[in-house]
Every structure is written in C-alpha cells, then in structure tokens.
Amino acid sequence: MDIVKLSLTDVRDKIAAKKLSSVEVTKAIFDRIKETADLNTLITVTEQSALEKAAEVDGKIARGEKIGALAGVPIIVKDNISTSGIRTTCASRFLSNYVPPFDATVIKKLKAADAVIVGKANMDEFAMGSSNENSAFGPVRNAVDPTRVPGGSSGGSASSVAAFQAFGALGSDTGGSIRQPASFCGVVGLKPTYSAVSRFGLVAFASSLDQIGPITRCVRDNAELLNVIAGHDEMDSTSAFVKEDYTDYKTGVKGKTIGIAKEFFDREFSAEVKNAVLAAAKLYEKAGAVLKEISISSFDAALATYYIIACAEASSNLARFDGVKYGLRADADDYIDIYYKSRTAYFGAEVKRRIMIGNYVLSSGYYDAYYLKASKVRTKIKAEFDAALKECDFILGPTSPTTAFKLGGDFTDPSEAYTADIFTVPVNIAGNPAISIPCGADKSGLPIGLQLIGRSFGERELFGAAETLEKELG
C-alpha cells in the first residue's frame, strides 16, 4: 500500500480504525515532500509541529477519546492564510519574515478537526497571477510535467496535491486561483459561494471577490474538506449564516438541466480543451441530464470588469504595506522615502502593476469611466447568472482556455496572461460556487479541466454532479 496515494477519506478512516497511525502517515508525507522538493511547492515546511500533532492524534485514538473529522490527516495551506507561529509570506519579499500572532478562522477549524498542517504552499505574490511564476521564492513546477506551470495563484496548493505531498490543500480564489491550477494539475478545486467560508485571517487581495476553498484529488475528499472549513464566523462581517453537511449529497444528474453558455464556446481557444469539455457534456446527457443552450451576454465584459474591480480593491488593501506598520522597511531618511524605497524594493513587478492600475481607475478623473462603470456591469453579470440558473441547474464550460503552458511564459505582453482567467472570473463577480474537475487530457498528456457553476449555496448539488462525471470517466 502506497500511503501517500490514498484518498483523504481513506487515510482518515484507516487512522481512526488504527490500521495506520497518523505519525506513520505524516512521516510518509514528509518523505514524499523531500522526494519532490524540486517542484518548489512549499515555502515553509512544518515537520516538527506536524509530527507533534500527529502523535497527539494517535494518543487520542489510543485512549478512545473523541477525534475530529480530519483526525491525523496531513493538509497543506496556501501561504496567504494566517497561521499562528508559522511564517506567512504571501510569497512576497515584503512579508518574508512575518509570523502572524493569530490563526485564520479556517486554520482554527482545521486544528479543531485534528488535521495535521505539514506546510505553507508557494503562490503568486499576494495571489496576483495565473502561473505561479510571480513568487519571491521562485516558480512552482507542475507535478504532471515539471516543465509546465501549475497555474495560479494557488499553484503550490494544486501541484502539492497532484504530487501526493498532502491529502488536500487550501487555496484562495479571487478570479480563478483555485480552479485554474486545479485544471492545470488534474485535481479537483472548488470556489465556494462568496461568504460560505470565513475570510478572517486571509491576507486580502480583493475583498469582495476573495474566497478560501479546498483542493483535493477527488470530489468526495473536496466535500469532506469544505465541511470542516465552511460556516458562519462572527469575525467576518460578510460571512453567511449557512452551514450544511456538504458530504450529504446524491450522485447523479438524471432529470437535471445543464446549461451550455454559447459565449463560452463561440470563441477561439484550444480545440483539444473544447472537444474534451463537449465530450464530457455528452457523458452528462448519457447519464440522464438535459443539455440546454443558454446565453450570458455580458460574458465578454467580465474580464475587463474583474481587473478593474480587483485592482482597485488591491490598491486599497495593499496600502497597508508601507514599511512602517507592515512589512520589511528599507533604509530611508523620512517616512515618504520609507514608503517609496520599501515598496520599490519589496513588491514584485505584477503587484506593482496591479496597484498602479487600481490607483488609476480610482483616480478622480477616471473613477466614473472605469470603476463606476465596472460596478454597474458587475450587477448585470450577477443578474444574468441568476437568470440562467433559474433555467438550468448548472452551467458547464471549460475551466481554462488552454492546458498548462511552459514555464517562462509564452506572453510578450503581461496582459495576455490575464486571458487565462477568462472562464473563471465571471463566477467570482457573480459570487456563485464553481468546481473544476478533470475531464481528459491533451495529446501531450496534460490535464483538461471542466468547470461546473452552481446556484448560490448549491455546493452539495455541485458535488453530486461532479462525482457523476468522475464515475463516468472512471
């Protein structure tokens, strides 16, 4: 038995039944992390504290004490989620020595569930990027093909799960940062409904779009991980008073209507991706679903709308990193000089680019032309998704227009990279849940991801539909 290749659910059940010990499992995971260290998936490895937690869980089981829902299971956490006593860098030089004095709510919940946190995942700096090459700690490599990017910004989380370095990971999704890496790495990634999971302790990129979610190797494990981290939190004023048993879902799509948005497919993108996604749609039809063509007319405006809103919020959220209150401080003569020199030295190029865009669209001469207009389009996009999901149960489309591209980038213009998020950003604008599941591979063997979009707080239904495809594809 190769321990690291067990599912999250299987390893948890074997630990609870004393067929495996958490210490044994955790040691196997650290061996795997060392074997695959060249993927650069982790910024911080927490071997000592993880083994201590694993021994604690084994002691609880031996004494017959009550254990949590993830007892003894090794989990990786994206490095923009605050962990008390463990460095949290956001993959930025600015926070390279920052150790939070508190845990994010999702970390408290993982600890209460007796999960074993084995490391903090590499990412695009401050979650800004679609390739995981914008990291002060070097790029992450895709576990499927190390010459390729893993996607971003949760590339470290997705590649670590694909590389069997953990049984699940947490990422954050602002415009596709869980789903796109999941697609590139051939794993399952969920962006929950906005407000379903507390954002307290998540270092903010764009507060009205950010959402923490799970990345796993199968749908059932994804539901198990969401079940632990979801629920209302009084520390997050946007947190919803909704908590379900997300593991209580029914597999099957018989009688369900699946919307195929014509705008998703009436555009040029990889033929291999398009064919694989449409073939998966046919499998759904074979399983009893009704396919229906729908229209999201505002789709073409979504990418521009997203980058205006996200960059505007980023310029505000990152204003706190000034070398005075937060972050490393450059040598300077006065406080204005501190701001300038610290930000120049410690922010990466992509972060600077997005802050400048954000300041521009919020400036007095351009606010109405850009930010105000984008806010109005956002309302229209949300309304169109709500209307479409009254006609159908799910919306189906590609997660990404391509499979994983080569490290080093094929883009001469940085803005070209933004198109990698074209199918994912509308969902963040609308606030709906969406899941990326593997649906095939291209001729090079690179994974292709399919995205299912559901109604607000419809995660259980999404899991049921996603697992149906998982079974159809074997």
Catalytic residues: 78, 153, 177
* Degrees to nearest 5, angle at CA 424 with 420 and 430: 145
**Other CB atoms within 10 Å distance of the CB of residue 415:** 11
DSSP string, 242-287: ----TT------TT-EEEEEHHHHSS---HHHHHHHHHHHHHHHHT
Burial label, 260 (beta-carbon count in 10 A; 0-12, 13-18, 19+):
middle
Token pair listed for 470: 């998982």
d(CA 143, CA 186) in angstroms, rounded, equals 9
d(CA 63, CA 249) in angstroms, rounded, equals 33
DSSP classification of residue 32: H
d(CA 80, CA 439) in angstroms, rounded, equals 29
Burial label, 270 (beta-carbon count in 10 A; 0-12, 13-18, 19+):
middle
DSSP string, 3-30: GGGS-HHHHHHHHHTTSS-HHHHHHHHH
Strand partners, 86: 83
Which residues, in sequence order, are CB contacts of 352 under 8 Å at separation 6+? 343
203: phi then psi, degrees, rounded to nearest 5: -65, 120
**Per residue, what are the HEC states of 103-139?**
CCHHHHHHHHCCCEEEEEECCCHHHCCCCCCCCCCCC
**Longest CA–CA separation in the chain, Å:** 70
Burial label, 172 (beta-carbon count in 10 A; 0-12, 13-18, 19+):
buried
**Helix then strand then coil, % of the chain, to nearest 5:** 45, 15, 40
Are β-strands 257-261 and 290-294 bridged in parallel, bridged antiparallel, or unpaired? Answer: parallel
